[in-house]
A and B are shown apart, each in its own frame.
Chain A
Amino acid sequence: MLKQLLAAINDAGYVSKPALAAELGRPLVLVEEGFAALVRMGYLAEDAGAGCVDLPCGKCPYASMCQKEPVQMWKITDKGRDLLANMQRAG
């Protein structure tokens, strides 16, 4: 499941855990576990994402435009890319 998950993340272009769960035919919780496992083993890296959560907007009226919840980003590491390349070679 982990290899398929990594490949699916790579193909999808964006990460939507429900969509990945549907695609892999696995429950969402298991997909979430898969992410954690891939991160633990160094195939996938989490990135804090951008937003202005800690920024000192204070009471500024324009602050409502700020991305209050950071957009979570993922990155397939070099180790992950190697794995994907190997998988492709193996067919």
Chain B
Amino acid sequence: MSITIALVGNPNSGKTTLFNALTGSNQHVGNWPGVTVERKEGQVRHGNTVCRVVDLPGAYSLGAFSEDEMVAREFILTGNPDVVINVIDATNVERNLYLTTQLLEMGAKVVIALNMVDEAKEREISIDEKALARRLGVPVIPTVASRRNGLEQLMNAALAVASAPRNGHVRLSYGESIDDKLAKLTNLLKAGRWDYPSGWLALKVMEGDEYVRKIVADEQSMQRSKEFLRLWDEIAANEDYYQLEIVDSRYRFVGEVTQDAVRRPAVAVETATDKLDRILTHKYWGIPIFAAIMFVVFQLTFAIGQDFLGEWMASAVEYIGEFLESLLLTVNAPQWLVDFTGNGIIAGVGAVVEFVPLIVILYLLMGLLEDSGYMARAAYVMDNTMRAVGLQGKTFISMIVGFGCNVPGVMATRTLESKKDRMIAILINPFMSCGAKIPIYLVFIAAFFPAYGGAALFAMYALGIIVAFIMGKIFSKTLFKGEVSHFIMELPPYRMPTLGTVLRSMWDNVSGFLTRAGTTIFAVVSLLWVLAVLPGGVEPYGPESILGQIGLAIAPIFKPAGFGTWQASVGLFSGIAAKEAVVATLGMVYAGVEEGMELVMSIREVFTPLTAVSFMVMTLLYTPCAATLGTIRKETGSGKWALFSALYSFGVAWALAVVVFQVGSLLGFA
């Protein structure tokens, strides 16, 4: 006696492994007729029976979605297999049973190989295969194909099923009205001549299977039946409904079959995620909690970065400066080089580098929040507020990216598909305080608010967000009107960041920052130094230098904001090249004047607490750096928008700085 056995199952469920284990080397490989999907066939003798085994391509369902699916279902329906072995991955029974359900619908004679039970056991998934077998109405045999376990029982079951007239399997119900139509359609289809069972054809017609619909529509005898045509039209009119109900019934069936028969260990992360999210994404508490978390981050940054590491870095910069100077003097270097090194590079680049520890700590902490999965929650809790001002929640993700650097922040808006959302997101992104602005705040905080560092930094970031929202609202009401498209954010489970990734990202930050100091900032400072000592003959770093002249020309603009000095002006001006340059320039023009004078000390002399605040507000909001403007030009495809961004943000910044200074003065602050 000889029979045909077909192996079907989801991709990676172990069909080929089982096939090889059953057939040994006794196999040949070719393509399915007409398609280039691999066809494997082999033979195995079990008792007196010769079994021809066919390994079908892996598929998740038996629709007409892919060639693999078509090959598999075609063989099951027309290849006359005596039994179908459905290989199921025991670690993912629910997903695999969807295919099983479709096999049952075909009326195939099925035996289930519950494969990879070793893997399932390892993952503590317990499966009651007897319950599964009872509910499905087919034998379920646990196997470990890779170790040839359970093959004997599997073959026994397969042969028994093959010789029985049919499985006593369960019939799915799709709900009364569909079952009814299905029965009618099946009856009518019996008049046609098909290669397929009419019950299956009827189901596929109702499910909207294009391939089957075409076959049925092309059959002449059907077109002559008035009754059929009426039913056909009726089905076509409700095709979405039928499809959904049928697919849904399959999942319901799978749910019923696996209920209490497949148990997984409760995943701690999932439960914890659920509990945490109930608090962290709370309707009212979500935003205050986000604010509190950020506040703690800034406080910690100061506690660790300043009090622990700050002094150390400052001394290191000072030491390197002295060392370089004495080195240059001993080798009789020209005076300009000594000056360039001491007053240009050390005073300028050094002023920025001194803040490396703080910045590294801040980014480390922010990176931790990101890695833990919290930032997605932050974006979610902002979603409602965003929508209220006419922005969509996705915008906040590009804003969070902007906290690092506005260049990727602007680029991250690419995922906003509506032009309106995207333009607004691009234009408000520079209000997110980027990392390069931190040294500016830190200098002024050190000069005037050393005791309130965390709070001051927090206030700057918060102000940036608020201004971004206000401008977003204005833009959505004026320049870019349109619907807010509604997205639903997926919150991934929380993760515990590992020490390894933390240390790695910290090192990346330090080395990246030093690289930036050694390249971009170095270049900008060098150029500014040249401008500060030229033309020859004038007092270097003085108002007559080219730099001083530029500063003097701009300074009157800033008079109403309280910092109309040429030094402050030229600092802001240089910040358009790169924001770190603001501090570098201040370091050069102030420290350069009086040898050994620390930048913070000089700031304390020329600014007041009030002008310090208005200057910080100005730097937070004014014209984006050149790299960001270039990105805006590229992303909007228009230099006009880049220019607009440069000018309007300057206007907003100036206006707010003036308000801070004027109102502050009126209130008696100095």
Contacts and interface: CB of A to CB of B under 8 A. Distances in A.
B162 to A, nearest CB: 31
Contacts of A3: 244, 248
Contacts of B510: 61
A85 interface: no
Interface stretch (B309-317, B318-326, B400-408, B471-479): B400-408
Given A62-B404, A62-B436, A67 B397 contact: yes
Contacts of B512: 59-61, 63
25 contacts: A1-B248, A2-B247, A13-B380, A14-B281, A18-B273, A19-B277, A27-B264, A28-B270, A40-B65, A50-B413, A51-B397, A51-B412, A52-B412, A59-B511, A60-B512, A61-B510, A61-B512, A61-B515, A63-B404, A64-B367, A64-B370, A65-B363, A66-B408, A66-B412, A76-B486
B366 A64 contact: yes
Contact of B408 (A15, A55, A72): A55
Nearest to A64: B367
A85 B404 CA distance: 42
Contacts of A75: 485-488
A62 B490 contact: no
Interface of A: 1-3, 9, 12-19, 22, 26-30, 32-34, 37, 40-41, 43, 47-52, 55, 57, 59-76, 79, 83
A17 B413 CA distance: 26
B94 interface: yes
A63 B270 CA distance: 29
Contacts of A14: 281, 380, 383, 488-491
Interface in B285-302: none
Contact of B411 (A52, A68, A70, A74): A52
B310 to A, nearest CB: 18
B516 A61 contact: yes
Chain B contact surface mostly: helix
A16 B412 contact: no
B376 A71 contact: yes
A24 to B, nearest CB: 9
Interface string B332-367: 000000000000000000000000000110011011
B493 interface: yes
B186 interface: no
**Interface-centre pick from B273, B277, B376 (highest chain A CB count, 10 A):** B376
Contacts of A18: 267, 270-271, 273-274, 493
Given A16-B274, A27-B258, A47-B487, A63 B376 contact: no
Interface stretch (B215-223, B249-257, B445-453, B602-610): B249-257
B415 A55 contact: no
Contact of B435 (A27, A34, A43, A65): A65
B545 interface: no
Interface string B388-399: 000000100110
A41 B207 CA distance: 11
A65 B489 contact: no
B370 A65 contact: yes
Contacts of B95: 29-30, 32-33
B563 interface: no
A17 B488 CA distance: 12
Given A9-B488, A26-B255, A63-B404, 14 more contacts: A3-B244, A22-B274, A32-B95, A33-B251, A40-B65, A47-B487, A48-B415, A62-B405, A63-B405, A65-B400, A67-B375, A71-B379, A72-B490, A75-B486
Given A2-B251, A65-B403, A15 B488 contact: yes
Given A29-B95, A55-B412, A64 B364 contact: yes
A74 B274 CA distance: 19
Nearest to B243: A41
A71 B281 CA distance: 15
B251 A1 contact: yes
A49 B415 contact: yes
Contacts of A27: 94, 258, 262, 264
B274 to A, nearest CB: 5
A71 B489 contact: yes
